[in-house]
Structures are given as structure tokens and as C-alpha cells.
Structure 1
Amino acid sequence: MTPERSDPAVPTATYRLQLQPEFPFGAAAAAVPYLASLGVSHLHLSPVLEAVPGSAHGYDVVDHARVREELGGEDGLRALARTAREHGLGLVVDIVPNHMAMAPRHNHALWEVLREGPKSPYARWFDIDWEAQGGQVLLPVLGHPLGAELGNLTVDGDVLRYYDHVFPLREGTEELPLPQLLDAQWYRPAWWRLARTELNYRRFFSISELIGVRVEDPEVFEATHAKIFQLLHEGVVEGLRVDHPDGLADPDTYLRQLHEATGGRWTVVEKILADGEHLPASWPVAGTTGYDALRQVDGLFTDPAGFGELLGQYRRFAAPQTDRGGEWAATVRRAAYKVLTHELAAEMDRLTRVASRVCATSPEPAVRDRAPWALRTALQELLVRLEVYRPYASGDAAAVVTEEAAAEARLAFVVAEEAGAVDVVRDLVLGRVGDGPEHGEFQARFAQTASALRAKSVEDTAFYRYVPLLSATEVGGNPGSPAVSPEGFHAYCARVQRDWPVAGTVASTHDTKRSADVRAALAVLTECPQRWADVLAEVTRTGEGVPDAQLAWAAWQTVFGLGPAAAERVQGALSKHVREAGLYTSWTEQEPAYEEAVAAFVGAGPCGVPGEHVAAFRSRLEPHIRANVLGTALVQLTMPGVPDLYQGTEGEYRALVDPDNRRPVRFPPEDPGDAGDKAALTAAVLRLRRRRPAVFGDAATYAPLTAAGPAAAHCTAFVRSGEVLSAVTRLSLRLAEAGGWRDTLLPLPPGVWADVLAPEREFTGHARVEELFERLPVALLELRPGR
């Protein structure tokens, strides 16, 4: 029977499919009957527009006007939409407004810019500093300095070739000798290492293969969104996920334009919120994609006292190379300095040039006479002290670039008068001085640089340097204080229900460094830190072959969280780990001897015979891991917001960082085995949400329930709209060690409450928690009508 469609404006639940040539639109269509039976209302598709051939993710768009041919083209997408509609499902798609692929042979707009230069009608598309590099776009594609590669650059008609790279030639330059021909182009092929300091186009973070797009230009906005708007208006697509809005010059204006152009379709934004940071209230979106919810759910199952003990064990075992004994804030600060002076050096140069121009031409005497070095120092010292991604025009920039940060930044100067550069920069950011286009450009570039810095220094560096608890190192998380109290969790949920009731929630995504099930296992370590230390002492008794203790700690946690798996998966994740950390090797300065030592250690230790001791320890903790897995699933699926399930996570899903978490999955899944409880629970919640959308929607309510008795702290429960009740076991290992539930009771709202998974079980009044959790460590109850 075809399920009834709910209001297409707001999903009841979405299911993320990671499209790629190995899993095109046709494969997605074949999965529709299963996904419809699961209970979701919408398929959430990764980017569908034309991308670099072979791309496994689609975020490297090359043509906004076409649906990707490798996935089946527009006909394939429309066929998928028809199949989905026949089964009561809609489509939500991921859009990428911030950047395109730096692949001229596939990117027609970029090809024309490289051929015609700043006079090309496409020049306004890309964020290029034409005043730098002598008016040429630096293309960091050469494997060695130009002198060593000159013989590998060849002219072929009206194009220049370098191995697989193809570039257009400026008209009339084809017959010039090669050195003069290169000088005559609108671009400069250069050694790839020059990208760090010489690049003159905005990019995605520090990825030179992705060039920034100027969607703040109305013409560019329309051209890069026309196909998506067509698909929306024709009903092929019903909602949007916006990738990385923080990279845009003006996210506020962009999101208003998007809202108007789409007619207010359900839209969520990939906005990473720091602890205590709120989404700008003026943004006309449904909310975030859900990393803030992920942080809250993970924190709920983390023992605060046990984390403190685990942190002490980490410091003793790993002796981390961080300031002040391994503090999180110090780790982030050190990483930020490193990123600004290395990976984002070119961005800092450009920001400094803009600041210098603004100061030199300012009518305000106090702003003038600031040396570029002083402005650069002031910018750096302020940027590294930002605790959120960036300021916004709609928000209070003084709350982001604080006076406290300015006071610390002034200490970097020896001469007090030179320290005034800090106040000049801060006043420019806050809009207290300056106006006009140059000042607006400075504010936008400061915000964009801040965003890239936060992502690179926290997500891509500090998360790999500060690892007492790997499950805490997810975007939006706080590895220095990962636990969330039940009271804090309830307060968060109440605020979301009030302010952003149909925002997204996630537990696993294509970007999480570890899937929810892996993180759920790791959280158990906060309940037994001494036992974990004892296990490590056993498996590292000799200490031979350990390249560094911090990596060893992370490696042992990795195999504990992942459980039995192919060694190459662990090797791949840990290879990425050490390069991202950048302490002994990196992506651009690889140290083969160190990386070989890491591989040997992982193979002989965590993935060898000693790893069997960790596997046995994990096996003994399996009931408590299961409690966290099921608790995480139930809380994420029933808390305020629209849950997004990543492919395969309805059952047991253990994955590490990409590309491990982007492997195609099988539909329908194979026999879930031990994961059957999670699969049954997930399907039950999704079908309940589809059947009763109002219970969970924008007009729903959220009310915490408080247990009473000796183990009350271990039961977290809440009621949605007075009709659906969720209860989970929190810190189950500590609970068992304290003697179990005993006489703990959960007071239920009036009426008869039926177990959704076992309807013959009913509860009224004060339910004994031990009885409530007799079958599973979680419970989902529904109020019986008229009883």
C-alpha cells in the first residue's frame, strides 16, 4: 500500500544517500521501496549538479546548469523523483553555493576566465584578486618549480597541456615561444607549493582545487541557482540543504534571496555552532543541519566525572604536545597560529592588503599611518581568539571580536602606539569606522578568513591533536568539556522547540569523523577510565614500536570504538589522523619514516594480536555499548527537529572518517543480526513520526520527565505533545556498578501508555523503570486514545 504523503513543506524525517558513480540515481530509485517502508518522508541527496568526473562526493561542481550525467542526468533525477512520489516520498538536495572545482577543462565558466581574463563575462563569478600576481591567476598545478617542468608544458593548437591538465590560450599567443607564451596568459602555471603563500583566488578552506564563487553578485546568484530553482518549482525537489554558508561574503543576504526565490521551501544550513552560540534569528531557514543536536546527544551519554579521570590517564599516557598540560583551548590556539602562518598565509596576505588600503584611504586620521606588519599582527592576534566561526551583519560583531580578545591581542606589541592597530582592526570589523566598498570588502574577507581558520584549526587540526576522548571530536563539539547534563540537554531541546522546531538533527553524516555507533562505544570509556588504562598498560607493556604515545592512545581508542574490522580501514583513518594533526608529518610535508612507523605499529598492535585484548574488553562492555547505541538513536529521532538518517545507520553502522564513511551501502540491508533492535527501533519511530507528524512538528511541545528513586539520574525521559514518551538509560555501566534500578520510578502523564515496540505492554501512573527497560535499555511509549 502506498503511504500517504505528509505536508511536503516540512519533512517528518529524511534519509541521506551519498550519490556517486557507483551509486547513481538508478540505484537510489531501486532503494525507494525499502526506504519508504522504513518510514522516512524524504530522500536527502548529496549534490546532484555536474561535478568533476569520478567525484565520490559531488561538492566539486563544474556546471550549475546541468544535472550530473554520471549519476543519470536530469532524466535520471526526474525518474527518481517520480519513483519517490509513487511511494510517498519527496526529495531534498544538497546545494554548494560557496565554491566550484578548479578544473578548467570541465568548468566552462572558469575556462573562459582563464582565456579572456578580467574582461570575460564570467570573471565576476570568481573571487580573484587580479591586482596580485601581476594580473595572472596563480594555478598551483606543477609538481616542481617551473624551470624543472618547462619541458612538460606543451602547446597543442589553442590549448596548453601539462600531463592531464589542459588550459586555454589567450587569443593571438599560440605562436609565441613558450616562456613568452606563459607570460602572455591570464594565468600562471606554478609549483604547487606556492599555493600556500602566493594564491590569489579565494578557495574552500585551504583546498586549492576548489575556487570561491561570488554568489553575492545577483547575476552569479541567478546563473548558479537557476537549475535548482527550476527543479524546485516543477516539484522534482522539495527542500534544500545549504553547504558551508559561512564561506560566503554575506550569508544573511544570500539566505534571504534563497528564501524569496524558493518560495520559502524547507531549507537547512550547514552552520557549525560553538557551545553557547545561537543561529542568527533573522535567517529565514528551518535551522541547522544538526551538528549542534549531535553534540547534545553525544554529551548526554558522556560521564563528566569519568571524563576528568580519562583526561588524567591521557595526560599520563600520551604526554600530549600542548600548552599547559594538554588543555583544549591551548591546543586550539596553537593550531590557529599554525594554520594562519602556513595553510592560510595567502588569505592573510590578501586580508592585510585590503586592511592597508582601507586605512590608507580612510578620512579618519586615527585609522591612518598603520604599517602593514602591524595590521597583519593585529588581524592574526584577533582571529586566533575568535571562539565561533565568524561574525554576521545581522549579529553583534562585538560579541564575536570581543574587547577581552583585543586586550590580549595588544600584548603582542612592544610599543603601545603600535598596539593601536588592534583597535583600528576591531573598529573596522565592528563598523565603528570606515564605509564604502573597500570597508565592506574588508568586513567580508575578515569573516571569510575567520570561518576558514576555525574549520582548519579546530576540525582539521586540534581535533587530531587533543584526543582524550575521540567521540568528542566532532564539529560543534567541545573536547575539553564533552559531557552534557540531562538538565542542559532538556534546556537545549526546549529552546530548539521554541525557536527552530523543524531544524535538522543528525547522529552520523558523510562528514562525521566517526559514526554514531562508534562514538556510542567510545563514550562508555568515560564510565570506566581506570579499566581502560589497565587495558592499555597490558597491550603496551613493552612500548616497542610506538612512534608516539599520543597516536597510540588514539589508535587503541579507534579499534575499541570500531570493533572488528579490516585492518586497512584502521590504517587509512590513522594515516589521515597523523597528517591532519601535523605534529610529525602532514599532507604537504610527509615524513615517510614516521608514517611507515605508524603503519607498522598499527599493524602489529591495534590490528594485531594485542588488539585482541581490546576486542575482548569491548565484548565485556557490549551491554553498555548497546544502551548508548539505542539511546542515541531514540533521542535523536524523537527530540525537537527533523531527523536525518545517514545511509545504513538505521541498523548497526560503524564507520570512521571519510572515505570510510562514504562507501556505498546495500538496499535492502542484509540480515541485521545483533543490530536488529536498533533497526526495529528506528523503523518504529520513523513510522510513528510519519503517522503523527503534528506530535513532532513546529506546533509540538517538549516536556522533560524526571524519575524518582536511587537511580533517577540514569533515566532521561521526555514527552512530545503529551502523546509520545521517550526514555533512555544513561551511563548504564555506572548504574550497574551502583546496584541497578532498584525502586526507581518514572511518573507518567495521565492515561494509558503503550510500548510502541510491544503494544501488549502498557503502563500507567508511576512506572517502575526496571520494568520499563525490561526488554530494551530504552522505551518508546504512545498514549492510548480515549483511555
Structure 2
Amino acid sequence: MTPTATYRLQLQPDFPFAAAEAAVPRLASLGVSHLHLSPVLESVPGSTHGYDVVDHARVREELGGEEGLRRLARTARAAGLGLVLDIVPNHMAAAPRHNRQLWEVLREGPRSPYAKWFDIDWEAGGGRVLLPVLAGPLGGELARLRVDRRRGVLTYGEEHAFPLRAGTDDLALPELLEAQWYRLGWWRLARTELNYRRFFTISELIGVRVEDEEVFAATHAKVLELVRDGVVDGLRVDHPDGLADPETYLRRLRTATEGRWTVVEKILAATEPLPSGWEVAGTTGYDALRRIDGLFVDPAGHREILRHYREFTAAPADRGGQWEATARRAAHTVAGHELAAEVAHLTRAAARLCARDPALRDHAPWALRLALHELLVRVPVYRPYPGDAPSVLTPELADRARAAFTVPEEAAAVDAVRALLLEEGDEPGGDVGSSGGGGFHRVSEPSGVHGVGEGGGSRGAGDGPERRAFRARFAQTSSALRAKSLEDTAFYRYVPLLSTNEVGGDPGRPAVAPDEFHAYCARIARDWPDTGTVLSTHDTKRSADVRARIAVLSECPERWSALLERLAPTPSPDPQLAWTAWQTAVGLGGGVTRQRLDDALLKAARESGLHTSWTEQDPAYERALADFVAEGPAGPPVDRIEAFCRSLDPATRANVLGAALVHLTMPGVPDVYQGTESAYLALVDPDNRRPVDFPPTPVAEVPDPRAEGADEKARLSIAALRLRRDLPEAFGTSSTYAPLYATGPASAHCLAFCRSGEVVTAVTRLSLRLTQSGGWGPTELPLPEGSWADVLDPGREFTGAVALGDLLAERPVALLRRIPRADTPTRG
């Protein structure tokens, strides 16, 4: 059953299954069809997110255990709700004392039956796996190590415990440490010496090889049992780009779930389609988020803000002054620093493969490493998939990679690496994903992608398992590099308009024209009608309402500049940070606690890595940052911020309501993040993962906007969600999408569309500019044939071409439902 709308709950010990169960009456009354649960399998004790799984066979006890989950499912089912579950196939917590499979591998080494669970390069580690857990070099940490010879356990401090290899428990500590299948090391060594695959740059999360059928079966048995028992109706797959073979994995998962609705957390570059061979309903919706947000960014105003930003910050082009240069520098930094161990792994693999092929032999390891680095930083998509290499690693891209070499003959290493990455029979040309749109396109099942075997050779001379493994690891590293360099680095360095720096976003081209949005929706309705859509998630850097406030600045760059001039005397550690801080304060409407702002700005400063970072912290800079927050955005100037925000309230209202209504009525299945059906101002995690206190009573009817303390966004959200519930054919798999175009002088300020001839959405975009130009005037919106009732204002009806000044007189958005004719059966 495809959901009509899902509601995301962020489970944690402070919000367990019982709390979710208590909220069911309230959530069911909103109009959603399914609750979307964050990961529920056993994870590290105290985890507030659940993505650090330690036991795939058990439902997390801290949340209420399996009985608590099944009880939640029964309560939800009785209220008409199903459950969608977030699953984590790519990684587990690298916490041996909690992760039984990893414990056994560390105890028994590569011969353990669980060794194939993890991507461990035993040869690179000299037959041992590096565990980068020590606070400092080993010599200074020996006193904190304890051997429990009776239990056969080695402990480090209060947190860490490791198994002892059989027959080593009677050795003295130095010899004992050398005799293990693991090597305890300083945490800083992970950057260059780590020999297991991890999630991005997080050494605490070890990659899992679900491409192995036995590993897939073991890690999915409990989830599939919950699906078979009717506890779970659909799945969200976390980070499929981390898998060796996402297409085969998703085909296997679809077979095992008998086709349950499944979406993937796949981030797509601006012009990148979802691979057509993936047997899923679509993505989790970051591609939709970028298009919705872009509707409310004024391109001309954004250019003016960018000009003032460059003057205010004096940022060098590659350190925040220019988007492409900033993204490129960040990619080089991450590839050479945070992901150095991953590039080293690829270098060793490339050297082995080249050594076997006379046509590719005699490239120095340093040259292969540089070639890999230069190719990786230029990959234009998050990850190349089988068949994509010719259109991703083009001859032109290779030419630019070769330019990094000073000796032309040594630049031939680029051609050698590119030859290894091209599949047999590949020829340059074509577009990424050119095989088309949606549907389940089946291809022949590839053989394994892990392990060392015969093969290699130049393109066309063989395609053995080691070469396939090399291509898979290159692709996995590419996705990690793009995510870390863009979303976790460049997005914190290039900050002219913070609302555009969102997961899957394009800060260099943030504005989206209505025709571009309509083309995207038409494609989604045709190819991926059941894909997910989102505005806020547990991973968004700012909630939708915060972004909506900040986006208004693109319509009034001169007012933003004048505000900054009045605020500039407040001393700050650096102008880029000050710009980020003041925009963040505007996004929160001025109302923010110092601690929340402290946390968000410290994270921004460390992620950017310009003055301080997570691994090389500058205490003096961070103290100056805290002092600035106290004196500035969370201090006396807050009155000016609040007054400025009040002056923009009408435009903020238009953006908030417009984005919400577009999200809830466009093609796809909308996911409502906890609390965001109402006004919701939150910053990056953990701020946006705080438990929500849900009222225990259901919403009996759509709230009256005239009631004291009424939440206009909640009223709109509930009305749209209930309309989706009541008219599933108008929004579901077989529904249609038709753009509607206003006529008249202000037509560019209206975005409108019709769903299946039954529902019309009309929203105001760039409303501040509209007001400055004199309002709607004679602008009209021609409605489809028939009579239309205003869902938000019962009693109002429209036919034909309606003046937008009348349609949008009370609010900046309109939601209309066709009035059935007396001789036409009512739908829904």
C-alpha cells in the first residue's frame, strides 16, 4: 500500500515507542496515512538517532523492545495508520563491546565467519585491523589499558572493551597488544591508516557488506519478519550510495518485501536522475526540497546579496567568495585529508591491477594516487553507477585531471585509472542515467564485487571481481567525498544566503523558475509518482520555516545590508561567521536562546574548517565566537533583529505557507517531519531532533483561523493532508499534474497547478516584490472547467478566470476542490 502521506518520528530514549503510541490519536487526526519511524534496531546505548546499529536481530530495548514496537503498530493500525521503517544497511557501530559480530572478528581474525560482514583490508593493516580509539599515542595510554585474564578481555577506560585472541591472555601487556588481530591506535591515525570502510569520515561506524547474500539475510531477518507480520508496511533506506551494489541490493530487498513501498535517501545533483534500474518508489525527497525552496528565491536579489556578501566578508574566492572555487577547494581538502585512508586503499588496489596488465604497468604509486585524487574531486555527481563511467569520467574531465601533473608522461596514470574504471565495452558519450525515467528496469545480476580474484587488464581485456571491487570502492568514495566536501564543508564556507545551503541544494544556482518546477513535477508524476518529498528532516541544517524567513532576504537585499551596517559594531571573530550568525538570528525571528545559537554556530565554524575544526580546535577562536554570540545575536541587538523580522512578517508568512502547500499537494508522497505541521523553527541537529510534546487529544476539525492563538500553518497542513486522504486518486500513483498559468502584469508571482482535475493549488511567490510593484492588479488565474470550492474558507466558490486579488485576498495561498456536479458521482 502506497502511503498518502507519512509523518516522521525521531525515536530516542526520551521518546520511545510508548510516547509514539500516546501520540497516535493526534497524528491520525492530521490526515497522514503512515508513521515514519527512525531506526528501531538495537543501537549503542543512549543513542539519540539509532543509526549506530549494533544488533540487527533485536528491536531496541531502550525504546520498548519488540513488544513495544508491535503494540505501537497495533494501536496505529486501529487508528488507520501504518508504519514505515528507516533501515540502515550500510553501516554498524564500530563498538565491539556492543557489536557481537565485530567482537568475534576481533577475537578470531580474518577466519571468523563474521569477517565477511565488514570491508576490512587485512593486508594493508599487516594482518590486523586498526581501531583508532586512543586519546593519544599508545605509549601515553598504556596506563589506561587493563587486562581481565579471567574473562579474556582488554579494556581501555570506562567505555572500550576488546576481546583477546585465544592463547594470548598470559602474555605481558606489550606482547599481548602485538598478538591481537587488531591494533589499538591514536584516533588521529584514522585519517591516514584506517583499513576498514566506514560511513563518510566517521570511524565509529563501520561499513557492512550487504552485497553478500548471507550478510544480507542476517542483517535483514528481523526487519523482514516485521514486514511479513504486518508490523511494517514500507521502508526508507538510509544512504544507499554507501553500498557496493545499490541496484542489486534494492532488487533483493524488493523481492524479500514482496514489493512494499520503499524510498531511498539518495541525494541527486541538479541534473542527475534517479537510476532507472532501482526497484524503489523513489527518493526520500531532497530533490523536491531544492525545487520548492528555489521557488521563493529572487534571482536578482540573490545576486545583490552575493555582491554585498563579498564586500562584507572579503572572503577569498576559494574560501567562501565564489561557489565553484569554494566547492573545488573543499573537495581537494577532504580527498587529501579526511578521506586520505580511502584514497590510499584505492591507490593500492589500482597498483595491483595495473601490475597485472602490461598496457597499464609502470605507474608509480604516488602518480596513481594523484590521478585518483584528481578524478575523484571532479566527479560531477554524488556517485557513478555501472554504465555511468563514460559520461561521468569523460575525456574532458581526464584532460583536467592530467593538468595536475608537471611531467606529461607521468600524467598517463590518469588514463590507467580511467581504464580501470571503464567497464568492458564502455564507450564515451551519452548522459548520466540516460536510460530513462521510472519503472523497474531489470538487468542481469552482476557477480560479487568483493574480494581479490583474477581479472584486471585494460578495458576490454577482462572484468574480474577485483576490478569490479575497485570500481565499487571508487564509487563509494566518490559519494562520501561529495557529501563531506559540499554539505559538510563548502556549505559552511559559502554563506551568502543560508536558506540555499541545504542537503541536495545548489548554492551556486539557488533560484528555481516556475517553468522549471513544473517540468520537474511533470517528470516525477510520469516516472516516479510514488517518490517521497520533504521540506524538513532530521538531517536538514535548518527547518523549512527558518529557511523561508531567510529566503525573504533575497527580495530585500538593501534592507538586509542596512541592518548589517547597524549591527556591524558588535565585535566578531571573523566577518563570515558574523554574516552567518546574523542570518541565523533572522531565520529564528530573533527569538533564540544563547545555548542553541552557540551550538549551531560552533558546529558551523568547525564544519567550515577555516579557523577551527572538529579535529584541530582553536580554543581562542571558539571563545571569541561564544563572546560574540553573547554580545550580538543572543545579546542586546536582538531587539533590532526582532523589529526587522516583524517588518518582513507578511513575506515570511507567504513563504512558509506557500512552501508547505506546494509540498503537500505536488506529485509524490509528502513526509511531514515531527512538529512541522505547525510553526517550527529549528537549527541543525541535535537542535532539530529534540522530542516533540504531542497533545494527547486528536484534532477534531480544521482549526478556526480566527481562534485565539490559532496556528495558520497547522490549519493549512491539516486541510491539505485530509484532502489527500479523502481524494487518494487525485494524488496517488495514477494521478496527473497540470500547470496552471496566471495572466496579467503580476503573473510571475503566482505558481499554480491542478491535480487530476480535482484539486487546484495556487501560491504567491516573491510576495515582497509583488507588494513593492503594486500588488496583483488585474492579474487573473484561469481555473479548469467547473466550479471550485475554497477548502480553507468554506462558502467561497470560483469559476472561470478568477482575479488573484480576490482569490488570495485573505491569505497568500489557495487550495481549491472541484465541486461535483449533480449528475457526477462524488470521488473519494
TM-score normalized by the length of structure 2? 0.92
**Which residue number corresponds to residue 66 of structure 1?**
58
Corresponding residue to 2:725 among 690, 699, 707:
690
**Which residue number corresponds to residue 661 of structure 2?**
634
Query: Is the partner of 1:92 in helix, strand or coil?
Result: strand
Are the aligned partners of 2:22 and 2:696 in contact in 1 as well (CA < 8 Å)? no
Q: Map 1:445-456 to 2 at 5 A.
A: 445-456=473-484
The one-character-per-residue Cα deviations of 1:557-608 (angstroms, maximum 9, x if unpaired) are: 0000012121111110000000000001000000000011011111101111
Are the aligned partners of 2:401 and 2:414 in contact in 1 as well (CA < 8 Å)? yes
Corresponding residue to 1:384 among 374, 377, 384:
377
The one-character-per-residue Cα deviations of 1:313-364 (angstroms, maximum 9, x if unpaired) are: 11000112333982211111100111011111111111100011111112xx
**Which residue number corresponds to residue 279 of structure 2?**
284
Q: 1:548 and 1:724 mapped to 2: Cα distance?
A: 50
Deviation at 1:416, TM superposition (A): 1.7
**Which residue number corresponds to residue 340 of structure 2?**
345
> What amino acid is the match of 1:15?
Y
Query: Is the partner of 1:134 in helix, strand or coil?
Result: coil
Q: Map 1:662-681 to 2 at 5 A.
A: 662-668=689-695, 676-681=711-716
1:553 aligns with 2:579: yes
Greater alpha carbon shift after TM alignment, 399-408 vs 525-534? 399-408
> What amino acid is the match of 1:69?
E
Deviation at 1:182, TM superposition (A): 0.3
> What amino acid is the match of 2:618?
E
Query: Is the partner of 2:491 in helix, strand or coil?
Result: helix
1:373 aligns with 2:373: no
The one-character-per-residue Cα deviations of 1:615-665 (angstroms, maximum 9, x if unpaired) are: 211110001000000000000000000000000000000000000000000
1:417 aligns with 2:412: no
Corresponding residue to 1:653 among 657, 660, 680:
680
Are the aligned partners of 1:268 and 1:286 in contact in 2 as well (CA < 8 Å)? yes
Gap runs ≥5 in structure 2: 425-458, 698-702, 823-828
Are the aligned partners of 1:331 and 1:462 in contact in 2 as well (CA < 8 Å)? yes
Relative distance call for 1:659 and 1:116 in structure 2 (3 A) is same
Corresponding residue to 2:33 among 41, 57, 60:
41
Corresponding residue to 1:459 among 475, 487, 500:
487
Q: 1:349 and 1:273 mapped to 2: Cα distance?
A: 27
Q: 1:299 and 1:522 mapped to 2: Cα distance?
A: 12
Q: Map 1:14-413 to 2 at 5 A.
A: 14-157=6-149, 158-163=152-157, 164-323=159-318, 326-362=321-357, 365-393=358-386, 395-413=387-405
Q: 2:37 and 2:316 mapped to 1: Cα distance?
A: 41
Corresponding residue to 1:490 among 515, 518, 532:
518
Q: 1:586 and 1:641 mapped to 2: Cα distance?
A: 39
Deviation at 1:427, TM superposition (A): 1.8
> What amino acid is the match of 1:587?
W
Corresponding residue to 2:625 among 588, 593, 598:
598
Greater alpha carbon shift after TM alignment, 151-160 vs 265-274? 151-160
Q: 1:125 and 1:521 mapped to 2: Cα distance?
A: 46
Deviation at 1:675, TM superposition (A): 6.3
State the 4+ residue runs in structure 1 displaced beyond 4 angstroms: 669-675
Are the aligned partners of 1:98 and 1:212 in contact in 2 as well (CA < 8 Å)? yes
1:512 aligns with 2:562: no
Q: 1:675 and 1:93 mapped to 2: Cα distance?
A: 32
**Which residue number corresponds to residue 6 of structure 1?**
none
Q: 1:514 and 1:188 mapped to 2: Cα distance?
A: 40
The one-character-per-residue Cα deviations of 1:499-527 (angstroms, maximum 9, x if unpaired) are: 00010000000000000000000100000
Q: 2:571 and 2:774 mapped to 1: Cα distance?
A: 42
1:738 aligns with 2:773: yes
Over the residues paired in the alignment, what is the CA RMSD in angstroms? Answer: 1.3
Deviation at 1:117, TM superposition (A): 0.5
Deviation at 1:674, TM superposition (A): 5.8
Q: 1:436 and 1:653 mapped to 2: Cα distance?
A: 52
Query: Is the partner of 2:146 in helix, strand or coil?
Result: strand
Q: 2:652 and 2:610 mapped to 1: Cα distance?
A: 32
Are the aligned partners of 2:611 and 2:621 in contact in 1 as well (CA < 8 Å)? yes
Relative distance call for 1:767 and 1:527 in structure 2 (3 A) is same
Q: 2:821 and 2:388 mapped to 1: Cα distance?
A: 50
Greater alpha carbon shift after TM alignment, 434-443 vs 634-643? 434-443
Q: 1:341 and 1:376 mapped to 2: Cα distance?
A: 10
Deviation at 1:371, TM superposition (A): 1.2
Q: How many residue pairs align between the two structures?
A: 774
Are the aligned partners of 1:68 and 1:74 in contact in 2 as well (CA < 8 Å)? yes
Are the aligned partners of 2:26 and 2:696 in contact in 1 as well (CA < 8 Å)? no
Gap runs ≥5 in structure 1: 1-8
The one-character-per-residue Cα deviations of 1:125-180 (angstroms, maximum 9, x if unpaired) are: 01100101211111111111111111111101210011121111011111100000
Query: Is the partner of 2:57 in helix, strand or coil?
Result: strand
Q: 2:409 and 2:235 mapped to 1: Cα distance?
A: 50
Are the aligned partners of 2:25 and 2:696 in contact in 1 as well (CA < 8 Å)? no
Greater alpha carbon shift after TM alignment, 627-636 vs 317-326? 317-326
| Identical aligned residues as a percent | 69
1:426 aligns with 2:418: yes
Greater alpha carbon shift after TM alignment, 75-84 vs 669-678? 669-678
> What amino acid is the match of 1:102?
A
TM-score normalized by the length of structure 1? 0.97
Are the aligned partners of 1:98 and 1:245 in contact in 2 as well (CA < 8 Å)? yes
The one-character-per-residue Cα deviations of 1:174-221 (angstroms, maximum 9, x if unpaired) are: 110000000000011111111111111000000000000000111000
Are the aligned partners of 2:320 and 2:490 in contact in 1 as well (CA < 8 Å)? no
Query: Is the partner of 2:170 in helix, strand or coil?
Result: coil
Deviation at 1:413, TM superposition (A): 1.1
> What amino acid is the match of 2:324?
A
Q: 2:765 and 2:376 mapped to 1: Cα distance?
A: 38
Q: 2:563 and 2:71 mapped to 1: Cα distance?
A: 54
**Which residue number corresponds to residue 713 of structure 1?**
748
Q: 2:208 and 2:30 mapped to 1: Cα distance?
A: 38
Are the aligned partners of 1:743 and 1:768 in contact in 2 as well (CA < 8 Å)? yes
> What amino acid is the match of 2:256?
A
**Which residue number corresponds to residue 5 of structure 1?**
none
**Which residue number corresponds to residue 599 of structure 2?**
572
Relative distance call for 1:675 and 1:553 in structure 2 (3 A) is farther
Relative distance call for 1:675 and 1:252 in structure 2 (3 A) is farther
Q: 2:518 and 2:144 mapped to 1: Cα distance?
A: 62
Query: Is the partner of 1:628 in helix, strand or coil?
Result: helix
Q: 1:321 and 1:565 mapped to 2: Cα distance?
A: 31
**Which residue number corresponds to residue 479 of structure 1?**
507
Are the aligned partners of 2:318 and 2:328 in contact in 1 as well (CA < 8 Å)? no
Deviation at 1:673, TM superposition (A): 6.7
